[in-house]
Structure 1
Amino acid sequence: MRRPDRSVSYDIWMPILAPSGKLLTDFHKKKVIWPVFEERFRKEVIKGQRKYLLLLVEMALKRKITILCWEKTPKHCHRRLVAEECKKMNKKLKVVIK
């Protein structure tokens, strides 16, 4: 989540794992389709921010975590991509995508 709603309570905010403002805007203005968004997100975040993904995996192995976003479903949302990558990084991780 790039900009959390002030009414939402959270413990840790990791905007480094959110899509860039430009990528998000391009997607919402339909300048890029989902496969292009996903490819760019994987390049920018999944490959570029491994240490933060590892930190997320370490936290998730110790306690239940929730990845938030304002998209209503995970089909076209970065939180699904982050969760799936965390699962790839550690097969012991239990991942539920809703």
Structure 2
Amino acid sequence: MKKSVNLFTIGFTQKNAKKFFDSLIGAGVKTVIDTRLNNISQLAGFTKRVDIEYFLQEIGNIKYIHILDLAPTKDILDAYKKNKGDWDIYEQQFLKLMSDRKIEKRITPELLDSACLLCSEAKPHHCHRRLVAEYLNNQWGNIDICHL
């Protein structure tokens, strides 16, 4: 029987830095995998790439990786966010994109174990990080997903 993978997800919106980093450390996260298309925006605050990489290492001895293959394309994202698109259409397009990219062959269960998928959305319900976690669980099985 395969060992179960513990995968976390977190969004930084509506969290201050203390709550954000305490959540990661409390869960035992070893690696944060950034799934955002744009991780350098001023709107990202303490989660801009150069800042979060430093803070994760200094505060929690947590590794940081940015994997663009786990992010939606600008077209898919803009259609949903900027044009107030339909979530079901976004979800179908993003699931197809992950399938076309074959993300299950580009990353490993070992990389995801004790890792946390990062994006901006406060809750996972309408967020691509949840779709990534569920897609990989459907491909591999044995992933315990916990939304922080």
**TM-score, normalised by the number of residues in structure 1:** 0.82
Structure of higher RCO (CA pairs closer than 8 Å, 6+ residues apart): 2
Q: After the TM superposition, which parts of structure 1 deviate over 6 Å for at least 4 consecutive aligned residues? A: none
Q: Which residue of the other structure, out of 46, 60, 74, is the alignment partner of 1:21?
A: 74
**TM-score, normalised by the number of residues in structure 2:** 0.57
Report % sequence identity.
28
Larger strand proportion of the pair: 2
Q: Which residue of the other structure, out of 101, 105, 124, is the alignment partner of 1:49?
A: 101
Between structure 1 and structure 2, the one with the greater Rg is 2
User: How far 1:2 moved relative to its partner?
Assistant: 0.8
Letter in structure 1 aligned against 2:52: V
Measured against aligned partners, the alpha-carbon deviations of 1:9-50 in whole angstroms (never above 9, x if no partner) come to 2521111110001111111123521000001111112x1122
Q: Give the count of matched residue pairs.
A: 94
Contact 1:56 1:86 in 2 (8 A): no
Structure 2 residue 73 is matched with structure 1 residue 73: no
| Unaligned segments of structure 2, at least 5 residues | 1-35, 40-47, 54-62
Classify 1:56/1:30 alpha carbon distance in 2 versus 1 (closer, same or farther; 3 Å): farther
Aligned residues: CA RMSD: 1.7
User: How far 1:91 moved relative to its partner?
Assistant: 2.3
Aligned-partner Cα distance in 2 for 1:58–1:89: 14
Letter in structure 2 aligned against 1:16: D
Contact 1:17 1:49 in 2 (8 A): no
